[in-house]
Structure 1
Amino acid sequence: MKEEDISRILEQEEESIRKQCDDIIRVKPDLVFTEKGVSDLAQHFLLKAGITAIRRLKKTDNNRLARVCGARIVNDTTDLRESDVGTEADLFEITKIADEYYTYVTSPTTTACTICLRGPSKDVINEVERNLQDSLHVVRNIMLNPRLVPGGGALEMALAQAITEKGKSMEGVRQWPYKAIARALERHSRSFHELLFKTVVETRFASLLLYAQNTLRVLTIGPGVLMELQENWLTCGSWISGIL
């Protein structure tokens, strides 16, 4: 390949980069985010136009960022329109934390956000991330179905009682599965009872007596006291009847 051919290739590359940058500059954005790299020449053209470029984003982050900004992701610069530019973000900043730089984009009308997790090791961060995911799922479920059930073994005991009563309506060996499931649930509730200062037999008998009286209560861990649930909690009776 001759030197003239190499020069021509470089000129074509520069012309292509300039055209792509002109397409971007034409819609007048302040920020450009891309999942790919940005060449030095493209950075030069964008800098002259007063445009900041953030490169090598993850696809998932890019999708979330588009939701925050109200922008549309475009794969070809020739398809760019002014309506594709997001205008819902009100703040952009880059902050250095330890040895790394972090980019923040905020919006008062956003429906997405980023939670930054930091820790001494990858294992710790993974554990925190799993706990955070579980917490987010709990919040999501409460938003979709805003009802609660009690803890402390109360739910398991109520289920055991309901299943036992259901089993009494069966005959012969058909009762056995109901009895087995009820005993398993009572065994789960027993582990909570063992944490109380009262004896297991005494506490379990008191719980069975309360449920037999159709009174929903929850066990407090520590003092060994049976407390009534608040009235605005979902009663296990109505919840269980829907299952059975």
Structure 2
Amino acid sequence: MNDSYLDEGFLLDKKVGVNQPKRIENAKILIANTAMDTDKVKVFGSRVKVDSTAKIAELELAEKEKMKDKVDKIMKHECNVFINRQLIYNYPEQLFADAGIMAIEHADFEGVERLALVTGGEIVSTFDSPGKVKLGQCDLIEEVMIGEDRLIKFSGVALGEACTVVLRGATQQILDEVERSLHDALCVLSQTVKETRTVLGGGASEMLMANAVQELASKTPGKEAVAIEAFAAALRQLPTIIADNAGYDSAQLVSQLRAAHTQGQLTLGLDMKEGTVGDMRTLGVVESYKAKKQMLTSGAEAAEMILRVDDIINVPQVGDKEMGEGEGKGARCAPVQEWQVFN
């Protein structure tokens, strides 16, 4: 995980074709989603009657000529990099190599969409109007090695702020978990840009809300006060979870935090770097207001749904005639269906 880093550029998980240039400066990129064998005769799936092997050679030559015509149309766009969503095949790849054009095939659809966005180009499928096609541009395209994998790096792209996060991990499971965590963090960041309000982190806001809810419970008569107190206790569990996840003594830290908030020090929270109680405003520990609100709303709705369940009735599945019948046959347990009853 320590080898993960942010790369200033766009990385495409593909390899450069055989005999293709490995490095292109001042690249003009034509991005396409086209079948290079559209006009190719499917010999192996058809019946072709010929009276000599020369006829077969003529068919193959005709196929090559049609593919060459398509390659010539592509070259008229004055590009030095051709990236196709589909296969390019050996013969067109050879023609591109002879012309000094870097050809990249089978680029995944999501990667092609992003590449078109960051390079300022567009995805095309026909090549009859070279003047109307917008080519992507970047300062440098080169093949790089990351670990044991070869990737293609696009540097100096038109969308200057485009970059790639390279995650490294021991197993695929670790990588998947890190990717999910990074995705969640980026989602929170994007929401914070849209909704700029923030709250103090480190359990400070939860403890503040818990004290406010507890004060409301003390003023509420009847059984409703019990439910309100339970909600306050649930809010106090969040600082406990934060301390436990960091490996500290949660009982000691949370009791100190609770005492500090009781004394009016409302900006104090858990400093997990030092394992103490610190001022969250001074430390700059904040959380997205929108994310915090959604978290509390979703948690309250889930708890309400569970509390609405009055009982769970276990009903044996009908149709198992052999269940428990006869001696020596052995007992068999029928599958159980669970029914939830709501008030």
Q: Which bracket does the TM-score occupy, shorter chain normalised?
A: 0.7 to 0.9
Residue 209 of structure 2 is aligned to residue 159 of structure 1: yes
What is the number of equivalent residue pairs in this alignment?
Answer: 238
Residue 278 of structure 2 is aligned to residue 229 of structure 1: no
Q: Provide the residue aligned with 1:138 in structure 2.
A: 188
- TM-aligned CA distance change 1:223 to 1:82, over 3 Å: closer
CA distance in 2 between counterparts of 1:101 and 1:201 reads 49
Return the match for 1:129 from 168, 174, 179: 179
- TM-aligned CA distance change 1:10 to 1:231, over 3 Å: closer
CA offset at residue 96 of structure 1?
3.2
Q: Provide the residue aligned with 2:152 in structure 1.
A: 103
> Which letter maps to 1:43?
E
CA distance in 2 between counterparts of 1:20 and 1:43 reads 12
- TM-aligned CA distance change 1:190 to 1:114, over 3 Å: closer
> Is the Cα contact below 8 Å between 1:167 and 1:179 reproduced in 2?
yes
CA distance in 2 between counterparts of 1:182 and 1:42 reads 69
Higher helix fraction (1 or 2): 1
**Larger RCO (alpha carbons 8 Å, 6+ apart):** 2
Describe how 1:86-97 pairs up with structure 2 within 5 A.
86-87=136-137, 89-97=138-146
Helix, strand or coil at the partner of 2:125: coil
CA offset at residue 34 of structure 1?
0.9
CA offset at residue 170 of structure 1?
5.0
> Is the Cα contact below 8 Å between 1:74 and 1:80 reproduced in 2?
no
- TM-aligned CA distance change 1:59 to 1:190, over 3 Å: closer
CA distance in 2 between counterparts of 1:91 and 1:48 reads 20
CA offset at residue 44 of structure 1?
2.5
Q: Provide the residue aligned with 2:125 in structure 1.
A: 75
CA distance in 2 between counterparts of 1:235 and 1:32 reads 44
Structure 1 range deviating more: 116-125 or 32-41:
116-125
CA distance in 2 between counterparts of 1:97 and 1:235 reads 34
CA offset at residue 33 of structure 1?
0.5
Q: Provide the residue aligned with 2:85 in structure 1.
A: 35
CA distance in 2 between counterparts of 1:41 and 1:224 reads 67
CA distance in 2 between counterparts of 1:119 and 1:223 reads 27
> Is the Cα contact below 8 Å between 1:91 and 1:107 reproduced in 2?
yes
CA offset at residue 72 of structure 1?
0.6
User: How big is the alpha-carbon RMSD for the aligned residues of Structure 1 and Structure 2?
Assistant: 3.6
CA offset at residue 188 of structure 1?
3.1
CA offset at residue 144 of structure 1?
2.7
Higher strand fraction (1 or 2): 2
- TM-aligned CA distance change 1:9 to 1:198, over 3 Å: closer
Aligned sequence identity (%): 24
CA offset at residue 31 of structure 1?
0.4
Task: Give the alignment's TM-score, normalised by structure 2.
Answer: 0.57
- Consecutive unaligned residues of structure 1, counting only runs of 5 or more, are none
Describe how 1:208-223 pairs up with structure 2 within 5 A.
208-210=261-263, 213=264, 215-221=266-272
Structure 1 range deviating more: 154-163 or 132-141:
132-141
Helix, strand or coil at the partner of 2:208: helix
Structure 1 range deviating more: 2-11 or 65-74:
2-11
Deviations 1:153-192 (A, max 9, x none): 2121111123334456655344443222112112333456
> Which letter maps to 2:262?
L
CA distance in 1 between counterparts of 2:196 and 2:226 reads 35
CA offset at residue 99 of structure 1?
3.9
- Consecutive unaligned residues of structure 2, counting only runs of 5 or more, are 1-48, 298-343
CA offset at residue 193 of structure 1?
7.2
Helix, strand or coil at the partner of 2:145: strand
Q: Provide the residue aligned with 1:149 in structure 2.
A: 199
- TM-aligned CA distance change 1:38 to 1:167, over 3 Å: same
> Is the Cα contact below 8 Å between 1:68 and 1:106 reproduced in 2?
no
- TM-aligned CA distance change 1:149 to 1:123, over 3 Å: same
CA distance in 2 between counterparts of 1:224 and 1:116 reads 33
